Amino acid sequence: MTTRAGFIALIGEPNAGKSTLTNAMVGAKVSIVTHKVQTTRARIRGVAMEGDAQLVFVDTPGLFKPRRRLDRAMVAAAWGGAADADIIVLMVEAHRGVTEGVERILDGLGEIGTGRKVALAINKIDRVKPEVLLALSADLNERYDFVHTFMISAEKGRGVKDLRHWLAKELPESPWLYPEDQIADLPMRMIAAEMTREKLTLRMHQELPYQLTVETESWEERKDGSARVEQVIYVARDGHKGIILGHRGETIKAISKSAREELSTFLGRKVHLFLQIKVRSNWLEEKERYSEMGLDFKDGA
């Protein structure tokens, strides 16, 4: 069997609908993988299967006019994600048309886009009349040589199938980048633990993030449709516990809030998240900790 696989970067102004489209692409059929890939500059947003092709969507921060240093770093990261991708899809909002921001992105594409497949996806078509769409498509195609133009509504799911089908066809022949069963089976509780670990990593400094691990201890589906999730943060030292708790527990509260919000958005329903910190000086030597992370524990290693 010939398989195809590759990275697809969705770029566009903030609010163009990149996250909505990723979710629509991944759909119910497959799970989504949310984790940082150390070797790639961008974050993997979702993995979708289409026939024999595996589509890996990479998240890029919205492209906007950088003002501060942080802005510049984010925009650079977005372009970095795009430059590493096999296919770039530029998302433009139908009702906003060619804004200054879109013009700037087109200029950027001119610089990095040569020899790459760049498709145009005019999103939010539910918000405009067909004649507006045709004019916009013509205008954009005059400004940049897109290999294909799609008219979509990521939110309503219109045109999403066609786009996914096309992407699958255009990806290079390659073995899958993620084992199919791993994606399908990646347990939700592991993804949820990763989300909390990510929030911890963002807040903690230096080596602390490498000395902790997060496990989901219990996951209870409640009658009202919400989920009750209990997680344990294992730290290696007593002092680390205090740092994660923060003054009057403020740090852990903030971490818990952002992890809960992300998980809740991901699941599309309410989540009650409870975090507990346990000190286990030797957790790095414990076999169960590794299997919880989906890693092999190598004896003697």
Question: Quick one: 16 or 233, whose CB is closer to ligand GTP?
Answer: 16
Annotated binding residue at 124? yes
Q: Tell me whether residue 109 or residue 212 sits nearer to ligand GTP (CB atom).
A: 109
198 is in an annotated binding site: no
State how beta strands 87-93 and 4-12 pair: parallel
Residue 135 beta carbon to ligand GTP: minimum distance, rounded to whole angstroms: 19
Report the residue number, 156 or 253, with the smaller CB distance to ligand GTP.
156
| Cβ 46 to ligand GTP shortest distance, Å | 12
Of the two residues 42 and 53, which places its CB atom closer to ligand GTP in the complex?
Answer: 42
In three-state secondary structure terms, 104 is helix
Tokens standing for residue 158: 């219109």
Nearer to ligand GTP, 150 or 234 (CB): 150
- Distance between CA 77 and CA 268 in Å, rounded? 28
| Nearer Cβ to ligand GTP (126/288) | 126
Element (H, E) at 46: strand 43-50
Residue 163 tokens read as 């786009």
Question: How near is the Cβ of 125 to ligand GTP at its closest, in Å?
Answer: 7
- Determine whether the annotation assigns residue 19 to a binding site: yes
Q: Is 12 annotated as a binding residue?
A: yes
Query: Is residue 282 part of an annotated ligand binding site?
Result: no
112 is in an annotated binding site: no
DSSP 190: H
CA 119 to CA 126: how far, in whole Å?
Answer: 20
Rounded Cα distance between 211 and 208, Å, is: 5
CB of 17 to ligand GTP, least distance (A): 3
Judged by beta carbon, residue 19 or residue 251, the one nearer ligand GTP is 19
Contact 187, 194 (CB under 8 A): no
Residue 217, marked binder: no
Q: How far is the CB of 94 from ligand GTP (least distance, A)?
A: 8
- Tokens 């609010």 sit on residue: 15
Q: Is 115 annotated as a binding residue?
A: no
Residue 301 Cβ, how far from ligand GTP at the closest point, in Å? 40
Query: What's the min distance (Å) between Cβ of 93 and ligand GTP?
Result: 8
**Exposure on the CB side of residue 279, measured as CA atoms within 13 A:** 10
Which tokens is 178 given? 């993620």
Nearest residue to ligand GTP on Cβ basis: 62
- Are residues 222 and 207 in contact, defined by beta-carbon separation less than 8 angstroms? no
Please report the beta strands in the chain, taking only residues with DSSP state E, as ranges in sequence order. 4-12, 35-36, 43-50, 53-59, 87-93, 117-123, 148-151, 212-221, 227-235, 271-279
The two tokens of residue 167 are 């992407």
**92, 120 Cβ separation under 8 angstroms:** yes
Whether residue 125 is annotated as binding a ligand: the answer is yes
- Rounded-to-integer distance, Cα 72 and Cα 166, Å: 32
Tell me the C-alpha distance between 191 and 194, whole Å: 5
Q: Which residues bind ligand GTP (CB under 6 A)?
A: 12, 14-20, 62, 123-124, 126-127, 153-156
Binding residue ranges for GTP: 12-19, 59-63, 123-126
Binding residue ranges: 12-19, 59-63, 123-126
